[in-house]
Amino acid sequence: MKRIIFHIDQNCYFASVEMISRPELRDVPMAVAGDAKVRHGIILAKNEAAKKYGVKTAEAIWQARAKCPDLVLVDAHYEKYAFFSQKLREMYSEYTDRVEPFGLDECWLDMTDSVSDYAEAEATALEIRNRVTDEYKLTCSVGISFNKVFAKLGSDYKKPDATTVFSDTDWKEKIWPLPVSDLLFVGKHTAEKLYKINIKTIGDLAAADNGYITSYLGKAGVSLWEYANGLDDSPVAESGYKRVPKSIGNSTTTAEDMTSDRQIERTLHMLSESVARRLRKHGLKGTVVQITVRDRDLGIYEKQRILYRPVDDAGEIFNAARELFRESYDWNKGVRSIGVRCTKLVESDSGEQMSIFSEVQSRQRDDKLNKAIDDINRRYGDGFIKSAAEADVASKPDRDLKTYKDPIHPEGDFN
C-alpha cells in the first residue's frame, strides 16, 4: 500500500485564536494586524467575516479598511499562537509518531501505520477536526494523499473545516486541472515564468519535457516537475524532530528612517546580539555574515562577507555587518529597515584552526563569558543581563529607535 499522509491546516489561525478569548468577534469582520505606528501595518490574519469583504493576508491596513470600513483590528499575541500550536501537535501525536510542523498552524502526519485505507483515513480526519473544535474552539482543514505535496494541496483545496482526499487512483483527474500556482513552492514569480511558456495548470507542468523545465527554471524545475507528476517521496519527520537551520537572522523596520551612522550602528548592535544568542542556542556558528538594507523608497540590496573563522559572538558579527554597511551605502536615502544574518552554519564543536596562541585564549575567554551570560538569562529571563549597546538603548533611546518593544528579539526571520 502507498503511504497515507495528512496535512492539517488551521483555518484563519491567528484570528481564530484571538476569538477564543473574544467570542464577540466571531460574527464581525476582524483581523490580526501589525503595528502601523512602527510601519508594520499589514494584515496578518483575518476571520471568515472579513474574508467575505475581500480582505487579504499581507495587504496594507488602509487597503483592508477601504474594502471593509468596519473592520476590527486586533494586536498579535505570538505566545498564544505558539501555545495552541504545541497543544495541537500533542493531540496529533496520539495518532502517529510522525508529526512534522510546517509553521505554527500546519502539520504533516504520516498515517500509513495508523489507518488501513482512505475510508478509515477520512473518518480519522473527521475525528481530528471534531476534537480540534470541541477541545480548542478552532477549526482546521485536512488534506489526505499519498505524498506530502498533494496532502498540502488537499488542505488548501476546500476551506474552512473540510477534508479533501486525493487518492493514488484518482489524483490525476482532480489535481492536473488545478492552476499551477496551487502547487507547493510555485510562488508568484515562478508561476509568471511558467505562464510565459503556456504552462497554466499542474497537468501542463506534468506533461512538459523534464529537461526543458530544468533548463528553464534551474534545480527548482526538477522538483516541481516531480511534484506535478506525483513523485514526491519526502518523508514526514518524527515528532520532536527539529531541522538544523540553514541560516539565522533578524531584521527590523524602524519607526522613522535612519539617517546617521550612529543610528545604524546601534540597530546593528541589537540585531547582532539577537543573532549571536540564537546561534549559541542552536549550538551553531556562522561563516558568512550578510546584511539586507531597504531604503525609504523600498529599494533593497544585500551584501555578504565570508569570515576566516566561524563565529557566534555578537561583537564579531556586528563588526562584519558594520563594515559591509559602510562599504556599500552612500546615504542618498534614509534607511527604512535593516537585517543581519549568518549563513553557512557549522556545529560549534566542529573545531577551527588558529595560529596565534593569544587569540585562542581570547576566544576561549569570550566563549566562557557568552556561555555564562546565556545561562543567567536562561535562568532569570532574556535581558536580565544586557550588553552595553542594549543598556545604552534602554536608558537613552533615540527617537527613531523606538521600534524595539523587545530589544533582545526584534522582528525575526522564519527559516
CATH 1.10.150.20 is right for the domain spanning 176-242: yes
Average pLDDT value over all residues in the chain: 86
| Across 368-397, average pLDDT | 53
- Can you tell me the distance from the alpha carbon of 402 to that of 413, in angstroms, rounded to the nearest whole number? 20
Mean pLDDT, residues 371-377 taken together: 58
**Is the separation of the CB atoms in 100 and 4 below 8 Å?**
no
CATH fold, domain 1-167, is Alpha-Beta Plaits (3.30.70)
User: What's the confidence (pLDDT) of residue 36?
Assistant: 61
Amino acid 239: pLDDT? 81
pLDDT number for residue 408? 35
Which of 18, 100, 106, 316 is catalytic? The answer is 106
CA dihedral 93, 99, 101, 105 (to 10 degrees): -50
Q: Give this prediction's pTM.
A: 0.70
CATH number given to 247-401: 3.30.1490.100
Q: Which residue did the predictor score with more confidence, 293 or 386? A: 293
pLDDT of residue 304: 94
**Nearest-CA neighbor of 404 among 338, 333, 334?**
338
Residues of the chain with CATH 1.10.150.20: 176-242
- Residue 340 near residue 290 (C-beta atoms within 8 A): yes
List pLDDT tens digits, range 247-270.
999 998 887 889 999 999 999 999
The mean-pLDDT minimum among 27-41, 174-188, 283-297, 318-332 falls in 27-41
**Domain span(s) for CATH 3.30.70.270 in the chain:** 1-167
Catalytic: 122? no
**Which residues lie closer than 8 Å to 30 by C-beta, 6 or more apart?**
15, 18, 19, 46, 47, 49, 50, 71, 72, 73, 74
**Residue 317 has what pLDDT?**
96
Over range 32-58, report the average pLDDT. Answer: 85
Tell me how many degrees the CA angle 292-286-321 measures, rounded to the nearest 5: 35
pLDDT band at 364 (very low <50, low <70, confident <90, very high): low
pLDDT in tens, 150-196: 999 999 999 999 999 999 999 999 999 999 999 999 988 999 999 99
- Asked if omega into 397 is within 30° of 0 (cis), the reply is no
CB burial of residue 282 (10 Å; 0-12, 13-18, 19+): middle
pLDDT above 70 (res 411): no
Compute the Cα dihedral for 78, 80, 83, 86 and give only its sign: negative
Q: 39 falls in which pLDDT band (50, 70, 90)?
A: low
Segment 32-56 shows an average pLDDT of 84
What integer pLDDT is reported at residue 215 of this predicted model?
94
Residues of the chain with CATH 3.30.1490.100: 247-401
The better pLDDT of the pair 344, 359 is held by 344
pLDDT on residue 352: 55
Sorting pLDDT into bands at 50, 70 and 90, what band is 244?
confident
User: Over pLDDT 90: what percentage of the chain?
Assistant: 68
Question: What confidence score (pLDDT) does residue 308 get?
Answer: 86
Query: Does the pLDDT at position 405 exceed 50?
Result: no
Judged against a pLDDT cut of 50, whether residue 289 lies above it is answered with yes
pLDDT digit string, tens, across residues 313-344: 999 999 999 999 999 888 888 999 999 999 99
| pLDDT number for residue 118 | 96
Cell numbers at 146, concatenated: 499519498
Residue whose C-alpha is closest to residue 352's, from 314, 312, 383: 312
> What average pLDDT score do residues 125-134 get?
97
How high is the pLDDT of residue 397? 44
> How much of the chain exceeds pLDDT 70, in percent?
82
DSSP 29-50: -EEEE--GGGT--BEEEE-HHH
Which of the four pLDDT bands, split at 50, 70 and 90, describes residue 368? Answer: low
